[in-house]
Amino acid sequence: MIRTYFNQRAAIWDKIVAENDRTKLERMASRLNIKPGSSVLDIGSGTGIFIPYLLDHIGQTGKLIALDIAEEMLKVAKAKGFMGDIEYLCADVTSLPLGEETFSAVVCYSSFPHFQDKLKALKEINRVLEDSGWLFICHTSSRTEISEIHRSILSVRDDTIPDKDEMKALLQAAGFTNTRIEDQSDSYLVSARKP
Ligand SMILES: C[S@@+](CC[C@H](N)C(=O)[O-])C[C@H]1O[C@@H](n2cnc3c(N)ncnc32)[C@H](O)[C@@H]1O
């Protein structure tokens, strides 16, 4: 269902839905603890809005996998021809076709609310992270704003961001530590570490 919803919006996504404020995107990417040479998994890449900002941080020696369940969204991302060590993968976050301990960071930019089984998704993310690797769940709007927008759209009306306590409990149950949740008026950022 969610796959169909996003596939149907792929062609118009960048024009009418995606975040187009480069300053906000740059600022968010710089808040993530991503070092040059990192291997990063971007889950829910969509049309690749956040990809250039991630590539800036991983540099020439880093590697990026852009993953999404909706192949039409990924097609748009691929067509942008981003330069760098980047691979596109169509898959569901709850069943990642990737080995254990592969990534130093996993990023979910503007995608986490749409994961239908959040605990299963977080456990999968934990599995593919290296020890001491970081998960970043981020948005360039507040949690309340995201939930309000989603509630007004029938197909995604239940796709909300869990509140602080629920988010902490989910992350703990999935094996994460060092959880930090920053919910601000114009951004939302969760960082959590695999021990
Ligand atoms: C709101 S869009 C954001 C796309 C992009 N990050 C952006 O900001 O423009 C959410 C993306 O998450 C993807 N997605 C939703 N559920 C997913 C899942 N279970 N596994 C992988 N990707 C998923 C959707 O297909 C969609 O492309």
Q: How far apart are CA 129 and CA 111, in angstroms?
A: 18
What confidence score (pLDDT) does residue 71 get? 98
- Measured by CA distance, the residue closest to atom 5 of ligand 1 is 46
CB 104 within 8 A of CB 133: yes
Answer yes or no: pTM beyond 0.95: yes
pLDDT, tens only, 179-190:
999 999 999 999
What confidence score (pLDDT) does residue 188 get? 98
> How many degrees, rounded to 5, is the angle at CA 56 between CA 88 and CA 178?
85
- Measured by CA distance, the residue closest to atom 10 of ligand 1 is 111
What confidence score (pLDDT) does residue 18 get? 83
Q: Which of 24, 61, 69 is nearest to 39 (CA)?
A: 61
Q: Which of 71, 156, 146 is nearest to 109 (CA)?
A: 146
139: CA distance to ligand 1 center in Å? 12
44: CA distance to ligand 1 center in Å? 3
What confidence score (pLDDT) does residue 49 get? 97
What confidence score (pLDDT) does residue 1 get? 87
Q: Report the atom number in ligand 1 closest to the C-alpha of 116.
A: 19
Domains annotated on the chain, with CATH = 2-176 (3.40.50.150)
Q: What is the secondary structure of 115-158 as a DSSP string? A: -SSHHHHHHHHHHHEEEEEEEEEEESS-HHHHHHHHHTSGGGTT
42: CA distance to ligand 1 center in Å? 10
Residue 27 confidence class, pLDDT cut points 50, 70, 90: very high
- Measured by CA distance, the residue closest to atom 24 of ligand 1 is 44
CB 146 within 8 A of CB 188: yes
Residue 33 confidence class, pLDDT cut points 50, 70, 90: confident
35: CA distance to ligand 1 center in Å? 24
CB 125 within 8 A of CB 53: no
Answer yes or no: is the C-beta of 29 below 6 A from any ligand 1 atom. no
Tell me what percent of the residues of the chain surpass a pLDDT of 90: 96
179: CA distance to ligand 1 center in Å? 23
DSSP 8-state assignment for residue 112: G
Answer yes or no: is the C-beta of 70 below 6 A from any ligand 1 atom. yes
